[in-house]
A and B are shown apart, each in its own frame.
Chain A
Amino acid sequence: MTATKPPETQESGGASAAALHTGTSDPRTLLMRNLRQSGIYVAFVVIVGLFAILTDGVSLSPGNITNIVLQYSYILVLAIGMVILIIGGHIDLSVGSVVALTGAVSAVLVIQQGLPWWVGVVAALAVGLAVGAWHGFWVAYIGMPAFIVTLAGMLLFRGLTLQVLDNISLSPFPAEYQKVANGFLNGLIGGQGYDAFTLLIGGIAVAGFAISGYRTRTARINYQQSVESFPLFVLRVLLVGAVVMYFAWQLAHARGLPIVLIILAVLVLIYGMVTRRTVFGRQVYAIGGNLSAAQLSGVKVKQVNFWMFVNMGFLAGLAGVIYSSRSNGAQPAAGNMFELDAIAAAFIGGAAVAGGVGTVVGAMVGGLIMAVMSNGMQLMGIDQSVQSVIKGLVLLFAVAFDIYNKRRVGNR
């Protein structure tokens, strides 16, 4: 969640002097060039600050920060799969139903049949994968638009959820299962009134960020590429470190490190790498950017499309586990409208409607913007109807801003 993309500036003097002359250290030029990238972070900071003021600091209290993480984790998990599909030029309208179905299957096995908690988790993930393969088959190999396939899936899997649950809610899950979404890792190494373990993990994360950032930077210099100037690099690490440690500090003073946050962090790390640095990730961007060109460059489009949907199914299954764990049961109407939250997160995070553009980190920030806003408005006691109006407008303006930005660049 912290891996912001570094703005490229030229190394002043040193190894890369012979290379490109594209960088700049002028902060204003930097900001303008990366407006599209940085705009979302700026917006996030502004929104967090705004609600901190409006709620007299309650929104930034340890308890509330923990709450936001627990409450919106499954949306963020869905948003990871969704942004990858959107980059590839697809969409998935069924994830809400799939969250309900996978949670229902898990509940039937664990609550009704009394099987161990992990059987429910495995079964939910397996159902998710199967659903993904189903969608992938129709989109990739039959050549149907994802919009139609997943719209059908939305109805289909909602119906199956009702069948599986026989139209009733099931609860409660055993304690181990509940821990997935509501559990904390804390008290492992003590602390006075706070959890030292949480701070330790925070510290390790910051150190890891700094070291990997430094290694990337060194590698780029060795390849004579332009990099940001060293002071700017240090500043960035310090800034990220401060934010992470503040966040960890607040968590440590509440209930400790949520297990679901660890799951989420691992997913963001892995998927961030997959999208940026693997052949698969590149091919997703290539397909979304220009399908024909990708095809004629030897990309196995059908396979890539298929696996994108399988992946979405897997993450929907995981979100199903988290959601059923959090709500401690399975309900026929679970996951209603989750797809729209996940799609909104991806678009607010800078993904392009036509495909080919978007980042996992962007989608996470997009999702957090929605989360912080919902949470803040709830704290302020704003009516549900007004909340909905405001969220709708934010989505509208975020994409409008994106289009405006692109047009400005395109006109040059």
Chain B
Amino acid sequence: MTDVLLEMRGITKTFPGVKALEDVTITVRRGEIHAICGENGAGKSTLMKVLSGVYPHGSYTGEIVFDGQPVRFGGIRDSEAQGVVIIHQELALVPYLSIAENIFLGNEKRGRGGLIDWNLANAEAAKLLAEVGLDENPVAPVITLGVGKQQLVEIAKALSKEVKLLILDEPTAALNDVDSAHLLDLLRRLRDRGITCIMISHKLNEITAIADSTTVIRDGRTVETIEMKSKDAALDTPSQNATQARIIRGMVGRDIDSFYPDRESTPGEEVLRIEDWTVWHPTQDRKVVDGAALNVRAGEVVGIAGLMGAGRTELAMSVFGRSYGRDISGRIFMRGKEVRARTVAEAIGNGIAYATEDRKRYGLNLIADVCRNISAAALGKLSRGGWVNGNEEVKVAEQSRRDMNIKTSTVMATVGTLSGGNQQKVVLSKWLFADPDVLILDEPTRGIDVGAKFEIYTIINKLVAQGKAVIVISSELPELLGMCDRVYTLSAGRITGELPVREATQESLMALMTKEKELAG
């Protein structure tokens, strides 16, 4: 097992004015799963882009030795020819093409006369799908698959290229627990077949469960490579915790005493109540949310737990000005009085705010500056007779920058240039400036690093201390257990349980989250 597949030595990559990587060294053994950890902006993605040839040889210094040979990739085709395949966080599948077409895209199975031999392609695709454990027809369009299955198609595509080194960038970020477990199983099987794997991940549980070694990167430098001794002893939790703490320490360069900041819980009067809420899928003939009822009080954090497809986001968005679904029925009460919230403007007017799970697509105007994003939901507060007071606007943005610790040199900076955590803080700033009574946060910490997560939690606590009501939707059960007063579980569009957090455990929540499915199936 000491056979080295990949060695990157002294990699330094500079962008105008910024040193993204400085003297990074990483050694990956053949047939191992090697995790790479680091805060957002630490340089993980840059390192992988150097490795896969996205940044061609010559644009960085240092050397890469792959399979015993020094290599100089001029582009992604070069690296793929050597068997290095990268699967990006945002999947690169064409939605309306079939599974087989996607698998062989750019690498088509040609038959006689240069025409594509679809029988051969579909047969090969079926074989690859069997390898990754995906039971789907190769001619099915990719858009009909869930995210978890699309991920598997990506891996099948990588296998079709005779991959030696598979790089996965946050493969489980968008997956629910069942799909994640499935994916991790697959990675283990691939490892047993001799495929080496580099995995970038924020989820320390996964890393400790699956990785053979972990390299921690901070501020563009290698901190250390940790041998994961206890990888086979899954029950050896103290050692796992110790390893996780060590990784976190390496990533942030400091200890985090308690990952979730303490908060005194003093819920007041009820702020928001939803009754008998039913939402139909916009195009399909099925209920996405079915008779849901929930409430949240002032100074309270309420969690919504559910597997992917349970209808969490759909519930929140339909409440927020009917932004999702059709034939919505049910009643919304604010402080005991029924309100109309048929448009987003009405919802905001009634004191409801919703921060989306997909901030890049639905939350931010990435090409506009920080200032204009923060004012976007409450321009009315900054204007008289339709005229915006631009100076007041900048003042508000500056205030948010300080309060939220948004790391940017100026509020005139384009939001797209900020890191994920700072973008999330801009989203939060926008909604805080709208001054809602109840704030619905959909996956507020998805894709952001440990340090920024802690800051977001602190902000949530500050809000509830001011008497706001907060609803948190999250896929990470420890986050819900650490942050909330009460947790609702949602399964197949129905509320299946409501637990005070002190009575809840990950196991009890998961049991409720899967309840409906078991009844149905």
Contact = CB atoms under 8 A, between A and B. Distances in A.
Contact of B345 (A8, A289, A298, A412): A298
B363 A277 contact: no
B343 interface: yes
Residue from A277, A289, A299 having most chain B Cβ neighbours under 10 A: A289
A410 B417 CA distance: 8
Given A20-B410, A223-B391, A278-B386, A296 B323 contact: yes
A74 to B, nearest CB: 28
Interface stretch (B235-243, B273-281, B371-379): B371-379
Interface in B38-87: none
Contacts of B18: 412
A286 B376 contact: yes
Q: On chain B, which size bracket covers the interface?
A: 35 or more
A294 B321 CA distance: 13
B482 to A, nearest CB: 27
A31 interface: no
A293 interface: yes
Interface in A115-158: none
A283 B365 CA distance: 11
B195 to A, nearest CB: 32
A285 interface: yes
B320 A296 contact: yes
A282 B372 contact: yes
Interface in B357-411: 361-368, 372, 375-377, 379-380, 383, 386-388, 390-392, 394-395, 398, 409-410
A357 interface: yes
Nearest to B416: A410
A404 to B, nearest CB: 15
Contacts of A34: none
Contact of B15 (A282, A285, A286, A411): A411
A158 B361 CA distance: 39
Contacts of B16: 412
B347 to A, nearest CB: 8
Contacts of B417: 412
B486 interface: no
Contacts of A286: 365, 368, 372, 376
A219 B343 CA distance: 36
A257 B270 CA distance: 67
Nearest to A23: B410
B356 interface: yes
Given A289-B366, A294-B376, A412-B16, A277 B388 contact: yes
A295 B344 CA distance: 7
Given A278-B386, A296-B323, A297-B430, A225 B391 contact: yes
Contacts of B387: 277-279
Nearest to B348: A298
Interface string A17-36: 00111100000000000000
B362 A296 contact: yes
B362 A279 contact: no
Given A20-B410, A223-B395, A356 B379 contact: no
A279 B367 contact: no
Nearest to B382: A279
Contacts of B388: 277-279, 282
B386 A293 contact: no
Contacts of A223: 391-392, 394-395
A167 to B, nearest CB: 45
A163 interface: no
Contacts of B376: 282, 286, 293-294, 297, 299
A212 interface: no
B521 interface: no
Contacts of A412: 15-18, 417
A292 B367 contact: no
Contacts of B386: 278-280
A365 B368 CA distance: 22
B354 interface: yes
A290 interface: yes
Contacts of A410: 416
Given A279-B380, A279-B388, A280-B386, A289 B15 contact: no
B362 A292 contact: yes
B395 to A, nearest CB: 6
A219 B323 CA distance: 39
A283 B344 CA distance: 14
B412 interface: yes
A293 B366 CA distance: 10
Nearest to A221: B391
A296 B354 contact: yes
B390 A293 contact: no
A19 B391 CA distance: 13
Contact of A220 (B361, B366, B377, B391): B391
Residue from B18, B367, B375, B417 having most chain A Cβ neighbours under 10 A: B367
Contacts of B344: 295-299
Interface in B464-503: none
Interface in B249-303: none
A22 B398 CA distance: 13
B365 A289 contact: yes
A219 B395 CA distance: 12
Nearest to B411: A20
B377 A219 contact: no
Interface string A216-250: 00011011010000000000000000000000000
A290 B416 CA distance: 12
A285 B367 CA distance: 10
Residue from B321, B344, B348, B383 having most chain A Cβ neighbours under 10 A: B344
Contact of B379 (A19, A20, A22, A282): A282
B410 A293 contact: no
Contacts of B15: 411-412
A153 B317 CA distance: 36
Nearest to A289: B365
A280 B379 CA distance: 10
Nearest to A283: B379
Given A277-B388, A282-B379, A411-B15, A296 B363 contact: yes
Nearest to B377: A297
A373 B387 CA distance: 37
Contacts of B367: 289-290, 352, 356-357
Contacts of A22: 409-410, 412
Contacts of A19: 398
A278 B388 CA distance: 5
Interface in A147-201: none
B417 to A, nearest CB: 7
Contact of B368 (A219, A279, A289, A295): A289
Contacts of A411: 15
Given A296-B344, A412-B417, A356 B368 contact: yes
Contact of B412 (A8, A295, A299): A8
A363 B383 CA distance: 26
Q: Which 7 A-B pairs have the closest CB atoms?
A: A289-B365, A22-B410, A223-B391, A297-B377, A298-B345, A297-B376, A290-B365
20 contacts: A21-B409, A219-B391, A223-B395, A225-B394, A278-B386, A279-B388, A285-B365, A285-B368, A285-B372, A290-B361, A290-B365, A293-B362, A293-B376, A294-B376, A298-B348, A300-B343, A356-B368, A357-B367, A410-B416, A412-B15
Given A225-B391, A278-B388, A296-B362, 8 more contacts: A225-B394, A278-B383, A278-B387, A279-B380, A290-B367, A295-B344, A356-B365, A412-B17
Interface of A: 8, 19-22, 219-220, 222-223, 225, 276-280, 282-283, 285-286, 289-290, 292-300, 352, 356-357, 410-412
Interface of B: 15-18, 320-321, 323, 343-345, 347-348, 354, 356, 361-368, 372, 375-377, 379-380, 383, 386-388, 390-392, 394-395, 398, 409-410, 412, 416-417, 430
